[in-house]
Amino acid sequence: MPSIELIPELYREEAQKMAGCLDQLDEVLLAAHANLDGDALGSLCAAAIILKQLGKTFTIYSSTAVPRHLQFVKLPTKVYTELALINPFPKTALFLDCGEYHRLGVELSSAASNFPSLNLDHHEGLGMGSLATWVEPKAASTTQLLAYLALAKGLDLSGDLGQAIALGLVTDTGGFAHTNTSADVFALSAHLAKLGVDFPRLREELDHNIRFERMLLWGGLTKKVQLEANGSIAICTVSLADFQTYSAMRDDLEGFVEYLRRLQGVKIAVLLREDEPHTAKFSLRSVREVDVCSLARKLGGGGHKNAAGGTINQPLEQAKMTLLKILLDGLNKSLL
């Protein structure tokens, strides 16, 4: 049986507490934030495997399904995209990588509070579990917390469980390049590698799946990039027309804002995507000490210190000016 000593002291008490609370769940709805990323999908897979090993029944739900760039991931079961199709309907819930009901998607957000639920998340916030909540912003990913939860339940992290945990670790640390890459992350990753998790293969699966349409989209968007604040801010807008021009889709944007952050002198990289004529989704990335989460919160968003986002209910160009004002004010007032 895995030793509890594998859980860092910082996380041990909460992991054991949440492990006890997990016993209260069965017939579980597993859900994460809409528009799944690597950590959200890895968390869903890891939680499903944990519940299966504990002899519990579960259903995975995501209103936006699995994005194309993550369809190489081995799923433990079907992912439902409509609550009405789930039968029998779950009685409890485990909400992952998301601490606010509205981030679960329109359909589930209105019903989520009706479930007796647990909530695991690593974003800043209070969380939303009615039975128990474990929110730990110091964790690099929600899969990191799930690894410690599994260890607290005496489960081994090998096989598909280890692969799912690794997916969240790799994607949310930017391949171990972001400032959230702590000694605990390396220790957990080393443990997973000893158990057989193939990190180079995972990195290859994540990197070697670029569609030609995505390459064309990125080429077109690169010409639209603007530098503001003496080159401290790089911003790019993506209109609905841009997607049509290059026959591209939303998930073809995956990684583009990180690409902008690589520009020399840039402190904040901004991607502003038109979702509807009067709705724009923004993604912010920053370097080192620059806190974009605090700025995203001014617009109702959130996230992490160096990676945040949100939605602005304005036409694309107006949303761009609104967002730039917040960012420039932050720079001028030295809030960063």
CATH number, domain at 270? 3.10.310.30
- Asked if residue 273 and residue 133 are part of one domain, the reply reads no
Q: Point out the domain boundary residue: 160, 176, 206.
A: 206
pLDDT of residue 334: 53
pLDDT of residue 226: 96
pLDDT of residue 136: 96
The count of residues in the chain is 336
Query: Is the separation of the CB atoms in 232 and 267 below 8 Å?
Result: yes
Q: Give me the domain span that covers residue 110.
A: 4-206
- Asked if residue 79 and residue 59 are part of one domain, the reply reads yes
Query: Nearest-CA neighbor of 17 among 112, 140, 136?
Result: 136
Q: Point out the domain boundary residue: 206, 240, 267.
A: 206
Query: Nearest-CA neighbor of 247 among 208, 209, 272, 216?
Result: 216
| C-alpha torsion 93→94→98→101, nearest 10 | 10
pLDDT of residue 20: 96
E-assigned strands of the chain? 28-32, 58-61, 79-80, 92-96, 117-121, 132-135, 226-228, 233-238, 268-276, 279-286, 302-303, 307-312
- Asked if residue 122 and residue 46 are part of one domain, the reply reads yes
CA 264 – CA 231 distance, rounded (Å): 8
> Token digits for 264?
């020399």
pTM of the model: 0.88
Q: What are phi and psi of 65, to 5 degrees?
A: 60, -170
- Asked if residue 154 and residue 201 are part of one domain, the reply reads yes
For residue 92, what is the domain's CATH number?
3.90.1640.10
- Asked if residue 127 and residue 48 are part of one domain, the reply reads yes
- Asked if residue 158 and residue 297 are part of one domain, the reply reads no
- Asked if residue 144 and residue 220 are part of one domain, the reply reads no
- Asked if residue 105 and residue 148 are part of one domain, the reply reads yes
Beta bridge mates, 236: 271
> Token digits for 43?
């968390």
Give the DSSP H or E segment for 256.
Answer: helix 256-261
CA 51 – CA 334 distance, rounded (Å): 46
- Asked if residue 147 and residue 12 are part of one domain, the reply reads yes
Query: Is the separation of the CB atoms in 157 and 191 below 8 Å?
Result: yes
Q: What is each CA distance from 61 to 58, 112, 122, 127, in whole angstroms?
A: 10, 12, 20, 19
Establish whether the linkage from the previous residue to 90 is cis, with ω within 30° of 0: no
CA 41 – CA 255 distance, rounded (Å): 16
CA 257 – CA 93 distance, rounded (Å): 33
Query: Nearest-CA neighbor of 292 among 260, 311, 269?
Result: 269
- Asked if residue 201 and residue 234 are part of one domain, the reply reads no
The domain tally of the chain equals: 2
- Asked if residue 320 and residue 216 are part of one domain, the reply reads yes
Query: Is the separation of the CB atoms in 308 and 217 below 8 Å?
Result: no
Neighbour tally for 65: CB within 10 Å: 13
Q: 230 by DSSP, 3-state: which?
A: coil
Query: Nearest-CA neighbor of 151 among 59, 53, 77?
Result: 53
CA 32 – CA 328 distance, rounded (Å): 32
| C-alpha torsion 186→191→195→200, nearest 10 | 10
Ranges of the chain whose pLDDT falls below 70 = 1, 333-336
Query: Is the separation of the CB atoms in 172 and 38 below 8 Å?
Result: yes
- Asked if residue 55 and residue 200 are part of one domain, the reply reads yes
Q: Point out the domain boundary residue: 155, 188, 206.
A: 206
Burial of 82 (0-12, 13-18, 19+ CB in 10 A): exposed
CA 264 – CA 244 distance, rounded (Å): 31
